[in-house]
Structure 1
Amino acid sequence: MSEKKIEKIVGVKGMNDMLPSDAPLWEILENTVQSVLKAYGFQQIRTPIVEPTGLFARGLGEVTDIVEKEMYSFQDSLNGDQLTLRPEGTAGVVRAAIEHNLVYDGPKRLWYVGPMFRHEKPQRGRYRQFHQFGVEALGFSGPDIDAEMILMCQRLWDDLGLQNIRLEINSIGDAEERNRHRAALIEYFEKHAEQLDEDAKRRLYSNPLRILDTKNPSMQELVNAAPKLMEYLGEESMTHFNGVQAILNANNVPFKINARLVRGMDYYNRTVFEWVTDELGAQGTVCGGGRYDSLFSTFGGKFTPACGFAMGIERLLELLKISADMPASAECDVYLVHQSDVAQLQAIIAAERMRDAGINAIVHCSTANGRGSFKSQMKKADSSGATYAVIIGEDELASGNLTVKALRAENPETNQISVSAETIVDYLIEQLTEAGDDCCDDPDHIHLH
């Protein structure tokens, strides 16, 4: 009787694995982002992946694509709670700030990173589980913090070596101004109802501002002629928006005012901005943000002005692959090769001493096919990207000296030296330090990659 074939289980569609070959690029991006955030005085906050469904329904607005058809919501079978995998990060951060009274002693600059979930059609740079960096400045009311958000993004693009990312900004005013504009929009679109697609008709009375964001080519002329929100802004909103522009101009940050730029969530007001690129096809928005002064009140908290942005990590990684000159990343500094059980033991001891000194070291380990020949081990050492191979064979055990081979030298075969086991760590530290990692802030960490 033949055995039944076990069915292979694969991942959920649109929820991807990060493989080891992708890790170096993720690490470069994450380290660069955190370095920039630290330079501006932001502190990390971590909120749960699962939140009450009502948090997003109230915060994002009932009539948004996210709430209507993209959220992963479910009932907790143990207690009946209605829960949702977070589709974005701002609502959770504000909920936490209210719950823990974070701004009682003054404004806070916060940042977060982690997975978000939306049930969309998976495509390049847009997945059902995706990752975001987000920044939230809570308790700040002036145009200076809005501009700081944008300057911080510009610094990040510069530090990552990214080009061809352009800034678009707009002001969507305050609630009263938007209400006047909203009435004008409804009146305008009612007069041209025969030109509206089904999506626009559905939004006409619930969220007409989102009609301006349509991607339908047949509606572009209609939308371009629609009443402009800027025409309905009062003196205070215009002064705020002009303040943002003045700071950007003073810091030589180019931008375009896009009168059709809105945000997908209901809680935004005044300044909104997007960083966009043509490098990623249809998914051109790299980062989006703006001001959301009413969200604290919407969640039952005390009125607290706030501003923030979020950027998709997967899209940034796509841009890095296309336009940035990323250095090759090695798995380790040193790869230890050995040819007997005794040599393997000495290699493990030596590697632990190296790690104590901040050197990243890999010891060749046996596989199902055994330890492997000297030649196969050296091939593994070379493919690891290590700067040096340390060889421990019978000759090395007999002499007490280890062979160090410079794998990245112009001629590795002639660039090897015999070093005593007692001084091997000091020798490697000296060589790795000379190889240069001047930007490393930790003198005890020698790893250069």
Structure 2
Amino acid sequence: MSKQIQIPRGTQDILPGETEKWQYIENKAREICEKYQYKEIRTPIFEHTELFSRGVGDTTDIVQKEMYSFTDRGGREVTLRPEGTASTVRSFVGNKMFGLATQPVKLYYMGPMFRYERPQAGRFRQFVQFGIEALGSNDPAIDAEVISLAMAIYQELGLKKLKLVINSLGDKESRKAHRDALIAHFQPRIGEFCSDCQNRLEKNPMRILDCKADRDHELMKSAPSIIDFLNEESSEYFTKVKKYLTDIGIEFEEDPNLVRGLDYYNHTAFEIMSDAEGFGAITTLCGGGRYNGLVEEIGGPETPGIGFALSIERLLAALDAEGVELPVVNKIDCYLVSLGENAKDYTVGLLHQLRSAGFSAERDYLDRKIKTQFKAADRYQAKYVAVLGDDELADNKIALKSMDDGGQVELPLDSFLEKFKELIK
């Protein structure tokens, strides 16, 4: 016997019984996007590496440590996508969607992403991300809309223990003033920080605030807050976002330490977290923010944007932590039980008729005894079982049993489909 091939570390097989939950979540997300007028976009699973180094940022952990990059046979540097925003914006620019009559352009995506991380509970090297991007509007009302869409997904799926945290990163002027203050704050003692933080000091000092290794350093607690550097325009923008969230009934907490470390992020930043007991150390379910400047970075015209991304795996973990059972139905309409060779042959055509009429149906393929066929019908949670033997076939009859109440009727075989349609109604 050959050696068994194992699944790659950090990946998972999603089996029948679980895939139905994924489908339910995906369909719910699509339904909500339809209400909000976000349309689906599907981009390649791999892109030119340059897209992510420019679009995600050279100083990020994603680009520095986590990307699956390789040289293809044509000598091109390509990368399996680690997130969805850069690809979506690249498509927005390449397909000149900034010229569409309907503005802003509102898009959503859903699909596998790849990051070389240390696998742990709820974190995989291949994971599925759902995200939205709204491109073309500077209105703070769309910031509130994006946040409300994210909250709607979690709430409509049944989650209750949620916490929304928001912050403002200000405009370019505010960011620069804060950046200068951060450099002055950390520079005298930067040697006490990890090598990543030392590299970030000049390139992107705000990323230091997001460091896991040095989060307990005393300078972290006394670091200048971005809120203290917001100019009047940035402060007014943030005030409006908060007002709109309050107007639509969304509770939030302000956290001046919440950062989205990429240079092009500005104004609104937010995270949605799980407050469920026992959920784990990493509580963030969803993160997002405004990224005016990204479209220009990828070669397009000046276009404001805002979006978020969430992990389906972490969403499922949050549902488990709160004990939420998704209303996934695995029942079938009819299971055909046959007894005798002629009856078994006849059920092939009958099964096809049922399915063609729109019913979910199944039959036995293993020549099992009638008792075992009934057990199979139970496992399929069949609503009805139709029993056909050779004698019944000769008499143009078929027995139909309701698996809910045990009631049984005998129907003419040649009009079985019509009678079954009436019963199901």
Q: Counterpart of 2:32 in 1: which secondary structure? A: helix
Aligned: 1:384 with 2:380: yes
Structure 2 CA distance for partners of 1:206 and 1:250, relative to 1, 3 Å? same
Q: TM-score, normalised by structure 1?
A: 0.89
Q: Distance in 1 between matches of 2:320 and 2:408?
A: 35
Q: Pick closer, same or farther for the CA change 1:27–1:218 going to 2, 3 Å.
A: closer
- Residues 144 and 430 (structure 1 numbering): CA distance in 2 closer, same or farther, change over 3 Å? farther
Query: Given the alignment of the two structures, is residue 127 of structure 1 paired with residue 124 of structure 2, yes or no?
Result: yes
Structure 1 residues 263 and 427: CA distance shift in structure 2, 3 A = farther
Instruction: Name the TM-score, length of structure 2 as normaliser.
Output: 0.94
1:375 pairs, out of 350, 371, 374, with 371
Contact in 1 for aligned 2:104/2:134 (Cα 8 Å):
yes
Task: Give the distance between the partners of 1:390 and 1:320, measured in 2 at CA.
Answer: 38
Equivalent residue number for residue 157 of structure 1: 154
Deviant stretches of 4+, over 4 Å: none
Q: Tell me the amino acid that sits aligned with residue 200 of structure 1.
A: C
CA 1:373 to 1:264, structure 2 compared with 1: closer, same or farther past 3 Å?
A: farther
Encode CA deviations 1:35-70: one digit per residue, 9 max, x unaligned.
111111111110000100000001111111000010
Matching of residue 168 in structure 1 with residue 165 in structure 2: yes
Deviates more, 1:242-251 or 1:348-357: 348-357
**Is 2:43 aligned against 1:43?**
no
1:86 aligned onto 2:85: no
Counterpart of 1:329 in structure 2 is 329
Q: CA RMSD in A?
A: 1.8
d(CA) in 2 for partners of 1:15, 1:266 = 31
Distance 2:134 2:40 in 1: 12
What is the alpha-carbon distance in structure 2 between the residues aligned to residue 64 and residue 259 of structure 1?
20
Structure 1 equivalent of residue 318 of structure 2: 319
**Aligned-partner Cα distance in 1 for 2:214–2:414:** 73
1:421 and 2:416 aligned: no
Q: Is the 8 A contact 1:60 1:266 kept in 2?
A: no
How far apart are the structure 2 equivalents of 1:333 and 1:316?
Answer: 31
In the other structure, the counterpart of 1:442 is: none
What is the alpha-carbon distance in structure 2 between the residues aligned to residue 287 and residue 157 of structure 1?
10
Q: Structure 2 unaligned runs (5+)? A: none
Secondary structure of residue in 1 paired with 2:98: coil
Deviation at 1:253, TM superposition (A): 0.7
Letter in 1 for 2:88: V
Aligned to 1:219, the other structure's residue is in SS state coil
**1:421, CA displacement in angstroms?**
2.6
CA deviation vs aligned residue, 1:131-151 (integer Å, no higher than 9, x gap): 011111111211111100111
Cα distance in 2 for partners of 1:390, 1:306 equals 57
Give yes or no for contact 2:286–2:311 (8 Å, CA) kept in 1. Answer: yes
State the identity as a percent.
41
* Distance (Å, rounded) in 2 between the aligned partners of 1:130 and 1:218: 27
CA contact (8 A) 1:167 1:255 kept: yes
2:96 pairs with 1:95 = no
In the alignment, which of 236, 256, 261 is matched to residue 258 of structure 2?
261
TM-fit CA distance, 1:392: 1.7
Matches within 5 A, 1:187-266: 187-193=184-190, 195-216=192-213, 219=216, 221-266=218-263
Distance 2:423 2:144 in 1: 45
Count residues with an aligned counterpart.
420
1:179-218 CA distance string (max 9 Å, x none)? 2111101111124446534443332222221221233476
Indicate conservation of the 8 Å contact 2:191/2:198, yes or no: no
**Closer/same/farther in 2, CA of residues 338 and 283 from structure 1, 3 Å limit:** farther
Structure-2 residue corresponding to 1:439: none
Match of 2:63 among 67, 72, 77: 67
Structure 1 residues 355 and 243, CA gap change in structure 2 (3 angstroms): same
Using the TM superposition, name which of 126-135 and 356-365 deviates more.
356-365
The aligned counterpart of 2:288 is 289
1:96 maps to a residue whose letter is: S
Distance 1:220 1:334 in 2: 65
1:328 CA drift (Å): 4.8
Q: Give the 3 Å change call, closer, same or farther, for CA 328–294 of structure 1 in structure 2.
A: closer
Aligned match for 2:25, one of 24, 29, 37:
29
CA distance, structure 2, for counterparts of residue 303 and residue 166 of structure 1: 33
Tell me how far apart the structure 1 counterparts of residues 275 and 305 of structure 2 sit (CA, whole Å): 30
**1:157 and 1:218 mapped to 2: Cα distance?**
29
1:134/1:311 contact within 8 Å kept = yes
CA contact (8 A) 1:63 1:207 kept: yes
